[in-house]
Amino acid sequence: MPLSPTDDIIGPARAAGTGVGAFNVVQIEHAEAIVTGAEHAGLPVILQISENTARYHGALAPIALASLAIARASTAPVAVHLDHAESAELVEEAVELGFTSVMFDASKLPYRENIAATRMITDHCHRADVWVEAELGEVGGKDGAHAPGVRTDPDEAREFAHATAVDALAVAVGSSHAMLTRDAVLDLDLIARLKDAVDVPLVLHGSSGVDDEHLAKAVTAGMTKVNISTHLNQLFTRTVRERLAESPAVADPRKYLGPARDAVAAEVTRLLGVLAGR
């Protein structure tokens, strides 16, 4: 199945009141695991590559081209998304490489500057038929730059979405990035009010800190795109540790990265089912 436009995945899910999993790629095993999990679930998925991951690899292109190739070879619909980009140049590179969507994060800027910067990105991306997500109301925990406890105001969200012409909006409703426990308390009433106020799909960041029950409730309340990263990284790393503890003399990375990849694939399959209401 060819690489899928992000809107072809998000649009039907929003119309059906179901959620879509968007999982972060750190290395090629993550991309392979996420796509395998989607194939096993028989559901679409979004591969996300963050600006931090591009920096880790020294450039966007190597991990991006690998992820795009894996997406194009999949039997499930797969979109490839640039996550938390603060650099306009990185957004432009992602568009050139063939990403189907970008998340431009100008949330650290004052409100009016956020609007202006985001609108410039939206105009550029829409000329290339690339879908754009932005953020309003800082989501806690992102490199210490985002303030915990912030909540997105529905009226401000309506104005922001209209002024920027974005295709989706990430909102602050109680989740926090990089949580190692799944005990975040979401403001479900606020999610419902945001859904009524904003005429674009809503995105939940920091979903690793949300348990299955509340993920499902968030989707029912109005979330469509659900970002999960740390939860899968914990599982990947735990599996590697277990394999190395069992075989401390192992030298071949495939002997421990392969089982970690398989564990993540199985968890992606399960999480996609939770988000789809199965």
pLDDT digits (tens, 9 = 90+) for 69-112: 999 999 999 999 999 999 999 999 999 999 999 999 988 888 88
Neighbours of 120 (CB within 10 A): 15
Domain membership flag for residue 237? yes
Q: What is the pLDDT of residue 206?
A: 78
Beta strands in the chain (DSSP E): 20-24, 45-50, 78-85, 101-104, 131-136, 168-171, 202-204, 223-228
| pLDDT tens per residue across span 220-251 | 999 999 999 999 999 999 999 999 999 999 99
Residues belonging to the chain: 278
**DSSP label of 2:** P
71 within domain boundaries: yes
In a domain, 213, yes or no: yes
| 197 in a structural domain | yes
Res. 161 pLDDT band, cuts 50 70 90: very high
Coil/strand/helix, residue 231: helix
Amino acid at 161: A
Evaluate whether residue 198 is within a structural domain. yes
pLDDT reported for residue 159: 95
The answer as to whether 158 is a domain residue is: yes
Domain extent, residue 210, equals: 6-275
Q: Domains in the chain: how many in total?
A: 1
Say what the pLDDT of residue 144 is: 32
CATH number at residue 48: 3.20.20.70
Q: Is residue 211 scored above 90 in pLDDT?
A: no
Give domain status of residue 1, yes or no: no
Q: What are phi and psi of 141, to 5 degrees?
A: 85, -5
Catalytic residue among 7, 8, 83, 189: 83
Closest CA to 108 of 133, 132, 76, 143: 143
Residue 60 phi, psi (nearest 5): -75, -40
What is the C-alpha to C-alpha distance for residues 242 and 246, in angstroms, rounded to an integer? 6
Model confidence at 187, in pLDDT bands (50, 70, 90)? confident
**What's the average model confidence in pLDDT over 255-278?**
96
Both tokens assigned to 175: 């989740």
* 127-132 long-range contacts, CB within 8 A, separation 24+: 128/95, 129/5, 130/94, 130/95, 130/99, 130/100, 130/101, 130/102, 131/5, 131/6, 131/7, 131/10, 131/100, 131/101, 131/102, 131/167, 131/168, 132/101, 132/102, 132/103, 132/104, 132/166, 132/167, 132/168
pLDDT of 273 higher than 50: yes
Assess whether 167 carries a catalytic annotation.
Answer: no
Mean pLDDT of the chain: 91
Using the predicted structure, report yes or no on whether residue 138 has a pLDDT greater than 80.
Answer: no
